[in-house]
């Protein structure tokens, strides 16, 4: 459970998989196997999916810029955040934001 907690953190001092395994007092390979059997995805995939969900949450705030979101997520470059987001979701952060607000408007 400690491994999930550390992988879920999205701050700039996020620990590596090795550091998390060390905290749990197990080897990296054992941590990865146990994690995968528990979560159904690798620790790296879990971290990426978790970060994408945080980015989506931040994009739902019209007042947050991509630069602010990038900084909160520990990315040094908003362009890199955009590339990762598009690769994982199939849309740019701008497209996601437009779709989100169009859907919320249609529900009103």
pLDDT in tens, 37-92: 988 999 888 888 888 999 999 999 999 999 999 998 888 889 999 999 999 999 99
Whether residue 5 has pLDDT greater than 90 = no
Whether residue 12 has pLDDT greater than 50 = no
Whether residue 102 has pLDDT greater than 60 = yes
Question: Using 50, 70 and 90 to split pLDDT, how confident is the model at 9?
Answer: low
pTM over 0.85: no
Q: At what angle do helices 93-107 and 43-59 cross, to 10 degrees?
A: 60
pLDDT of residue 36: 92
pLDDT of residue 24: 82
**Burial tier of 93 (Cβ tally within 10 Å: 0-12, 13-18, 19+):** buried
């Amino acid at each position: 459970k400690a491994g999930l907690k550390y992988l879920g953190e999205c701050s700039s001092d996020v620990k590596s998989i090795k550091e998390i395994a060390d905290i749990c007092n197990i080897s990296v390979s054992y941590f990865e196997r146990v994690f995968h059997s528990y979560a159904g995805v690798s620790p790296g995939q879990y971290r990426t999916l978790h970060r994408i969900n945080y980015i989506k949450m931040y994009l739902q705030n019209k007042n947050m810029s991509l630069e602010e979101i990038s900084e909160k997520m520990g990315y040094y470059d908003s362009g890199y955040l955009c590339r990762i987001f598009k690769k994982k979701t199939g849309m740019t952060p701008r497209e996601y934001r437009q779709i989100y607000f169009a859907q919320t408007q249609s529900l009103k």
